[in-house]
Structure 1
Amino acid sequence: MSSPHLRVGVDIGGTFTDIVVMDTRTNTTRAHKVLSTPREPAKGMLHGLDELEIAKAIEFLVHGTTAGLNAILSRTGERAALVTTKGFDDVLLLGRAGNKDIWSLSPKRTAPLVDRDDIHTVNERMRYDGSVEMPLDPQEVAALLETLERDGVRSVAVCFLHSHHNPAHELAFKALLQQRLPGISIVLSHQIAPEQGEFERTSTTVATAYVSRTVETYLAALVEELDVRGCAAPLHVMRSSGGICSAELVARQPIQTILSGPAGGVVAAETVARTLGRPNLIAIDMGGTSSDVSLVIDGRMTLSAESEIADTVMKMPVVELHTIGAGGGSIARAEAGGLRVGPLSAGANPGPACYGLGGTKPTVTDAQLLLGRIDPEWFLGGRMGLDVHAAKEAMASLAGELNIDVEAAAAGVLAVANGMMANAIRTLTMRRGIDHRGFSLLAFGGAGPLHGVALAEELGITEVIVPFSTGVLSAWGMLHADIRHDVSAPLGGLANAVEARALVVRTLGQLREEGAKLLLREGVDAAGSSYVASVEMCYAGQTHTVSVRMADPETLLQDFHDTYHQHFGHSMPGAPVELVQMRLAATGRIGAQFLDRDMSSENRPEATRTVTIDGVHCEARIVHRESLGRADVVDGPAIILEAGSTTLVPPGWSARQEKFGTLIIRKAGA
């Protein structure tokens, strides 16, 4: 039997599970899609691997998991208890005291992930500088442990005041807890989020405790199933920061898998930007359930130090995304005399009405089919037929409510969905003060290329990029991600103080050492390791910080003033500056090389079909992407088919297949 030689990336979406297989012997790539199984996410993945019959040939496997995200969204995680310093038991309940629903006099808050009865306190106290004000009382802890044992709690979040400056009490509590309840899951705040901000640190720690057993159980079961199939490759997991790590080390920070799937798409966008020489990209990943918008600026994906999902704040490095409930399966409805799309999705089961699996409500995919943009005989490369009659019946119901015809209803559904995505792009770019008209639009996901040019038209963008294997690009991106571990440590004091430089240098050394140990556990040696440090700083008295990439400790203060001016248009060079937090990304280069594609054509026959675009019936060319050679130009109106997606080229635009098998769609005269 031949030795393992396949690199495999798997992205489990709400509707489809995408699998990308790279053969290291032949330097070829193939893609495969299967319907997702939302109740048992791994089942769809394993089914896809079984269909391909490749388990024994896999040498590298990376997976984007939704286990932690689903646990938070559906509130099905492990019952967790929170143990905190006496007097701080309401931190999680108070939150940030903001009111998101500004028009409501009695707004309703989402309940925290931990019940009020499961929040416990102990008499202990660390000062802001890490010195002990009140020691931990072992007898009081023993009484609390009896309560936890009696309640049957299996996961505990420990968040003591100022523990990020001195974790001694958290470590002592963990030792006593492990001694009394050896099988319990324990999450310490100084290990998960060693940062100032009691609410943010508490919320992140509780969220980690809530999902830890769910993620651990899911991955353990998946590894066991892969082993049964003869897969000897260790399982890697995509992280929210745009890097990957082994499934074994995910247990250290399971919360870092929350944006596992979308992060693969962001890595793919960065890879495409670098290889095509397009440093500034707006990426729109439109799948069956939602659309994710992200940015690549100056060749780098953008990261945020915080994420908020279902009103749960998590302090951790994450790819910066703006997600909306507008995907191919998003359900359209009449509401208050108007047309609404999403966020409810038909998902994989029953799916859009045209899937013929029992769905009866109109979706974005049904609208595309009825307007002629999707070939009902060649969906998923001909592996799945679509029911036009069922789609028409579903859309007719909506049209009747709106008192318009079916075609107008379908066009309205697409217009609303496009408007939602365009607004998401505006939100993300305006937040950074960016003029999106100078960017290229990268459209991918199963549904993205059908909407790409319409979005570009609305936003004043003149170039749309559709990469090869666009329907599975997030899974493809996972194969180009590197091993990454993010570590951080609190700082303190003023940046111009005498001891500030020594503190920065000392902290940097400690974080590099910690990062190097994590990379070594992943099998990455010193030669393949790299480290990027940043420091969060602010003018004294400010609440919000600015992240400054650290090139040299000597120039850190001036770099802050320059960065601040870049963000806000002004700076205050004479004002005192506070050092708040240092972050370090430790990466190990293992990502796949972006290989050019063999552009040999398969000579699939062309056809024509009537397609409705902007209310006009057009005779459009129907072209198979596999039939296009390099430099072939397709003028709109045209439909370009491929196994996992469909690209719409409207009149006034033309598509040209260029290097790496990428379609570049440009507006005439641009």
Structure 2
Amino acid sequence: MSDWRLAVDIGGTFTDAVLLDAATGAVTVNKALTTPTAPLEGVQTAVGQLLSRAGVAPGEITAPIVHATTLITNALIENKTGRAGLVTTTGFGDTLLIRDEHRYDMYDLQIEFPDPPISRELTFEIDERTAATGEVLAEPTPPAIAALVGELAQARVESVAVCLLNSYVNPANERRLADELRRELGVPVCASADISPQIREYPRMITAACNAATMPIIGPYLDELQKWLSAEGFGGSVLMMLSNGGVVSADDAAAAPIRLVESGPAAGALAARWFANRMGEDRLLAFDMGGTTAKATLVEDGEPALTTTFEVARRYRFKKGSGFPVSVPSVDLVEIGAGGGSLAHLDQFGLLKVGPESSGADPGPACYGQGGEQPAVTDADVVLGLLDPDAFLGGDMPLDAGLAQSAIEPLADGLGLSVTDTAAGMYEVVSQNMAAAARMHAVERGVDLRGVTVLAFGGAGPPHACRVAELLDSDRVVFPVNASVLSAFGTLVSPVRIDLARSMPVKLAEVDPAERDGLLDELREEGRRVLLSAGVPESDIGFRYGIDARYTGQGNEITIWAGVGDAWEASDDEIVGAFEAEYRRIYGMTIDDVAIEVVTWRLSARADPAEIAEAGAEGLQTTAERAPQPASSRKAVFGREQDAVEVPVYRRADLAVGMSFPGPALVEERETTSIIRPGWNVTVADDASLIAVLEEK
């Protein structure tokens, strides 16, 4: 009896779909170009083709359909959000412009920040006041609320964020006002106390503003998606992937779209966790390179690291503070504009640069034949012979090598190089960019990546992984089955999970157990509601507790976790020990005779995903009864000023467990090509993954 599971991941260039039979582990995959202006069209194409290939009717899919998306991230980065209004306390209307008064570059006299997602013209103030103690000093009056409703209606807002002073400690005024606006205006309204009830005014306000600005985007899309699924006869509901690596119901996702900001990359990190645990790898670098961006996540001790804040829409990718510091839990990853569609150009000094600008899905790289004229990474891969133009997406989307060559020629003329050497330079620059980003991300966290195993996935990950590994001093790369759609697969092995937090600053020694337990009761109830709405049986729900703490007088906190269960059980001594150990790990010291202060209380509610059989792939053999035989060969170039060499081309479906062969070699499958560079040797593992190991020099 089949147990079909469907997953969809909308990327910047391609929309991926995965169909898994959880009973047997059989996997069928498909990719289709993303349709940025109408994302549902790309989903319909990808899913329709997938079900047709698998011979599965929509009605046979009764399990929840899991969905990851880049819609929220792209909307904030490109400033293509809805027309949202912001309501705040009188005197605080300039908070989004003042930010936190931090200059991310002290010596840049022309420093720039991204424009707020809600402009000053759409920011409105109302007389009310809640003290820092939580005492309501003044409520908004009915005439003031009526005047505010009129102003918002006249401004034709599509959604509203309400962020009042000190609402994190007492949300009464904020929730009353949000309810009134929701009823009178008939548009989505979010209260900061429901999105990020945490101390610090600017992070709370920018999180609520980003949430409101994206509600008009995700809400209509999810409505259209669910109507289409129902009309087609699908039996499952929709679960949305969150930035923290969990999934929730579509309704909860529509109410808090800011939690989807790193939805797709988080799914890739969860897939990497699944592979790391299955392969027994303690440390693994998940390297996910798609058509628009590349992501790197370190998995240690079987889990990807999480962060409690995430910066989105940075003006400068490597400058912390140049974006929006949203207070949402997220998988800790680095993202860089380096994908198959990343465009190459010459900077003001005549140096070759690649990205962060991307051709996306429309028009795409020049070789797509859709009107793109600037050279992209995929164009370089075609010119170098690394990709077969006639085999792209199994031949369903042939590439034009002539257009790729023509796009690179002006760049080559500017550099005074041949087209082939310019293409090799593009390949090297984008690989260096990705390695540098991964290395910087690791250094910021005190991690040494040398020797770490690299898991390569995404459509453009396998073509570049070996070179990135060389630059990171890594000698082992894993190319999993169905690597190009691994993020979509990751949604199928992700827990249903929600991370909640609420600030209540108090010295650890002065914590009132009744007050703490009351706060945690509220968080548990909200976590339980979210998981029940996603279809989780109440008996499967588990809770984990944490705190953000600091030494009294400090301005920054560290997060520690303090046990699991249905109630808080950690003692003060256990908290002190965990805090000092983490503080010492980060700073190399502890501070004696200074009290510890708890700033924010955290709760993670989760339910583990159902077990699935070992994942497989269509047509893969399971025993090595013969030596691997290339299906063909072609000339390929692996570096600047290097001659083209004849390289064997293997079909992945022809490779059986136990087979091995040396590089250089190309391994083709429908959705991607694994590039095995000279000096690497490949073995087919028990799960049909390709394990590439670099020879000792």
- TM-score past 0.5 threshold: yes
Q: 1:206 to 1:375 in 2, by over 3 A?
A: same
- State the alpha-carbon separation in 2 of the partners of residues 510 and 604 from structure 1: 62
Q: Say yes or no: does 1:297 pair with 2:314.
A: no
- Distance, in Å, in 2 between the alignment partners of 1:591 and 1:153 is 42
Aligned pair partner of 2:593 in 567, 574, 582: 574
CA distance in 2, matches of 1:154, 1:17: 28
| Matching residue of 2:344 | 332
SS in 1 for 2:459: coil
Q: How far is 1:4 from its partner?
A: 8.3
- Alignment partners' CA distance in 1, 2:636 and 2:34: 30
Provide Cα deviations, 1:215-269, integer angstroms capped at 9, x if missing partner: 1111001111222222221111111111111112213312112222111111111
Asked if 2 retains the 8 angstrom alpha-carbon contact of 1:601 and 1:627, the reply is no
Post-superposition offset of 1:582:
1.3
Cα offsets for 1:81-140 (capped at 9, x unmatched): 211112212211100223345553233332212121222222221111211233333332
Following the alignment from structure 1 to structure 2, what is the Cα–Cα distance between the partners of residues 284 and 510?
38
Equivalent-residue separation in structure 2 for 1:604 and 1:228 (angstroms): 47
The 2-side partners of 1:393 and 1:178 are apart by 55
Is residue 510 of structure 1 aligned with residue 522 of structure 2? yes
SS in 2 for 1:136: coil
The one-letter code matched in structure 2 to 1:466 is F
* 2:638 equivalent in structure 1: 613
List aligned pairs for 1:476-495, cutoff 5 A.
476-495=489-508
Say if 1:58 and 1:232, in contact at 8 Å, map to a contact too: yes
Would you say the 8 A contact 1:288–1:446 is kept in 2?
yes
2:615 and 2:78 mapped to 1: Cα distance?
Answer: 42
**1:589-639 residue CA offsets vs partner (Å, 9 max, x unmatched):** 235525153752698852222221232433322111111111111211111
Distance 2:580 2:105 in 1: 35
Residue in structure 2 matched with residue 195 of structure 1 by the alignment: 198
Determine the structure 2 residue equivalent to 1:27: 25
Q: Does the 8 A contact of 2:454 with 2:465 survive in 1?
A: yes
**Which range moved further: 499-508 or 48-57?**
499-508
Q: State the match for 1:553 in structure 2.
A: 570
Number of the residue aligned with 2:288: 285
Which residue identity lines up with residue 97 of structure 1 in the other structure?
E
2:310 matched residue in structure 1:
307
Matched, 1:85 2:80: no
Q: Which amino acid aligns with 2:634?
A: R
Q: Give the CA deviation at 1:502.
A: 5.1
Task: Tell me the distance in 1 between the aligned counterparts of 2:422 and 2:158.
Answer: 51
Alpha-carbon distance in 1 for matches of 2:512, 2:284: 38
Instruction: Go from structure 1 to structure 2 and tell me whether the alpha carbon gap of 1:355 and 1:586 turns closer, same or farther (over 3 Å shift).
Output: same
2:248–2:530 CA contact under 8 A, matched in 1:
no
The answer to which of 583-592 and 199-208 deviates more is 583-592
Distance in 2, matches of 1:146 and 1:353, equals: 50
Q: CA deviation at 1:192?
A: 0.6
**Contact 1:441 1:461 (C-alpha < 8 Å) held by counterparts:** yes
SS in 1 for 2:224: helix
Contact 1:71 1:77 in 2 (8 A): yes
The one-letter amino acid paired with 1:416 is V
1:91-240 equivalent positions in 2, closer than 5 A: 91-181=95-185, 183-240=186-243
Q: From the superposition, tell whether residues 528 and 607 of structure 1 become closer, same or farther in structure 2 (CA, over 3 Å).
A: same
TM superposition shift of 1:563: 0.9
Larger deviation, residues 243-252 vs 149-158: 149-158
CA distance in 1: counterparts of 2:144 and 2:679, whole angstroms: 75
SS at match of 1:492: strand
Q: Residue 550 of structure 2: which of 516, 527, 538 is its match?
A: 538
Amino acid at match of 1:235: V
**Alignment partners' CA distance in 2, 1:527 and 1:240:** 25
Deviates more, 1:80-89 or 1:419-428: 80-89
Cα 1:586/1:205, change in 2 over 3 Å: same
Contact 1:481 1:591 in 2 (8 A): no
CA contact (8 A) 2:622 2:657 kept: no
The number of equivalent residue pairs is 666
- Aligned 8 A contact 1:495 1:501 in 2: no
3-state DSSP of counterpart to 1:436: coil
Gap runs ≥5 in structure 1: none
**Alignment correspondent of 1:346:** 359
For 2:235 and 2:352, locate their aligned partners in 1 and report how far apart those are by CA, in whole Å: 51
Q: Which amino acid aligns with 2:604?
A: A
User: In structure 2, what is the Cα distance between the partners aligned to 1:608 and 1:154?
Assistant: 57
Structure 2 Cα separation of the partners of residues 29 and 226 of structure 1 = 21
The reply on whether 1:654 has 2:681 as its aligned counterpart is: yes
SS in 2 for 1:255: helix
1:433 is matched with: 446
Q: Which residue matches 2:662?
A: 635
1:422 and 1:151 map into 2 onto residues whose CA distance is: 47
Letter of the 1:23 counterpart:
D
Q: What is the distance in 2 between the residues matched to 1:27 and 1:398? A: 47
Deviation at 1:521, TM superposition (A): 2.4
Verify the 8 A CA contact 2:239 2:534 in the aligned structure 1: no
Tell me the equivalent position of 1:401.
414
Q: 1:27 to 1:282 in 2, by over 3 A?
A: closer
Q: Write the deviation string for residues 6-51 of structure 1: whole angstroms up to 9, x where unpaired.
A: 2111111122111111124543101111111111111011012222
Secondary structure of the structure 1 residue equivalent to 2:604: strand
Q: Which residue of 2 aligns with 1:664?
A: 691
| C-alpha contact 1:655 1:666 (8 A) present in aligned 2 | yes
The answer to whether residue 463 in structure 2 is matched with residue 444 in structure 1 is no
Q: Which residue of 2 aligns with 1:18?
A: 16
Task: State how far apart, in whole Å, the 1-side matches of 2:334 and 2:408 are.
Answer: 29
- Matches of 1:512 and 1:66 in 2, distance apart? 29
Report the aligned-residue RMSD. 2.0
In structure 1, the residue matched to 2:566 is: none
Alignment-mate amino acid for residue 240 of structure 1:
S
Aligned counterparts of 1:660 and 1:227: Cα–Cα separation in 2: 36
Matches within 5 A, 1:26-65: 26-51=24-49, 52-53=51-52, 54-60=57-63, 61-65=65-69
Which deviations, in whole Å up to 9, do the C-alpha atoms of 1:416-449 show, x marking residues without a partner? 1011001111111001111101421111111111
Q: For 1:260, give the aligned amino acid.
A: S
Distance 1:427 1:601 in 2: 40
CA distance in 2, matches of 1:22, 1:175: 42
* C-alpha deviation, 1:518, in angstroms: 2.2
Amino acid aligned to 1:43: E
Match in the other structure for 1:71 = 75
Q: 1:50 to 1:171 in 2, by over 3 A?
A: same
Alignment gaps of 5+ in structure 2: 314-322, 564-568
Counterpart CA distance in 1 for 2:22 and 2:454 is: 30
Task: Report the CA distance between 1:281 and its aligned residue.
Answer: 1.2
CA contact (8 A) 1:505 1:553 kept: no
1:281·1:296 contact (CA, 8 Å) conserved in 2? yes
